[in-house]
């Protein structure tokens, strides 16, 4: 099977981008990272891309009068690079419904909670405020409504008594780095069928869509 040309959209350090780049080094991985786009020129993820030999482009949202014009420039970059799949990895811009629908079932996002719980911002602080025993991350297909869409992979992380939002975020990130490459492999490998708002994994192996933090995997 030919590897699917994939772009990663970022705004910051790009640690999930690095996880995807590392996975794609395997020639048997079904996706190839062909382009990285950042809306912030100072994003360290751009350097990660350059070190991996992947073209890195800045499309600074502040240079455009409207979201539509900004996204048209991103679309032009994706089209020029022959991109087939898009991963949002810490991309801190809400995309218009038109862009999301153009990439329907071909665009992934990762969110630091067990969706549908804790959509939106300040996730870890809200988890702690509620006294939840576990939290995690979800990789899902993107829909126009924020943090909604068919879920491919989820990772479960314990909430510890001495956690603060930063400490909890670091533990969740450990699982994100495992979940995102797995979900992209599923989509790029043609193993995902969408029925309504459910992602059906073809030939699913038990537990394949669930990742446990090492402290839970005992």
What distance in Å separates the CA atoms of residue 100 and residue 104, rounded to the nearest whole number? Answer: 6
What's the CA gap between 16 and 111, in Å, rounded? 11
Q: Which of 111, 124, 177, 213 is the catalytic position?
A: 111
The answer to whether 111 is a known catalytic residue is yes
Per the CB < 8 A criterion, the answer to whether 37 and 60 are in contact is: no
| Residue 106 main-chain phi, psi, to 5 deg | -125, 10
CA distances from 178 to 96, 134, 138, 155, 186 (A): 28, 18, 11, 8, 13
HSE, side-chain direction, 13 A CA sphere, residue 167: 8
DSSP H helical segments within 45-153, as ranges? 45-51, 67-80, 97-102, 123-130
Catalytic positions are 111
């Amino acid at each position: 099977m030919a590897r699917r040309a994939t772009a990663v959209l970022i705004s910051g350090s790009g640690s999930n981008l690095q996880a995807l780049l590392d996975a794609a080094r395997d020639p048997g991985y079904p996706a190839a990272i062909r382009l990285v786009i950042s809306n912030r020129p100072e994003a360290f993820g751009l350097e990660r891309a350059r070190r991996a030999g992947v073209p890195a482009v800045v499309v600074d949202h502040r240079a455009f009068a409207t979201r539509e014009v900004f996204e048209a420039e991103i679309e032009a970059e994706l089209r020029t690079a022959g991109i087939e799949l898009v991963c949002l990895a810490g991309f801190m811009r809400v995309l218009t419904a038109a862009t999301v629908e153009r990439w329907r079932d071909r665009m992934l996002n990762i969110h630091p909670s067990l969706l549908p719980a804790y959509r939106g911002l300040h996730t870890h602080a809200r988890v702690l405020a509620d006294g939840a025993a576990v939290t995690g991350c979800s990789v899902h297909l993107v829909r126009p409504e924020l943090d909604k869409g068919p879920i491919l992979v989820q990772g479960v992380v314990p909430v510890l008594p001495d956690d603060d939002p930063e400490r909890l975020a670091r533990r969740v990130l450990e699982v994100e780095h495992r979940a995102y490459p797995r979900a992209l492999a599923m989509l790029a490998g043609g193993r995902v069928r969408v029925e309504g708002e459910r992602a059906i994994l073809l030939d699913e192996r038990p537990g394949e869509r669930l990742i446990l933090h090492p402290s839970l995997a005992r």
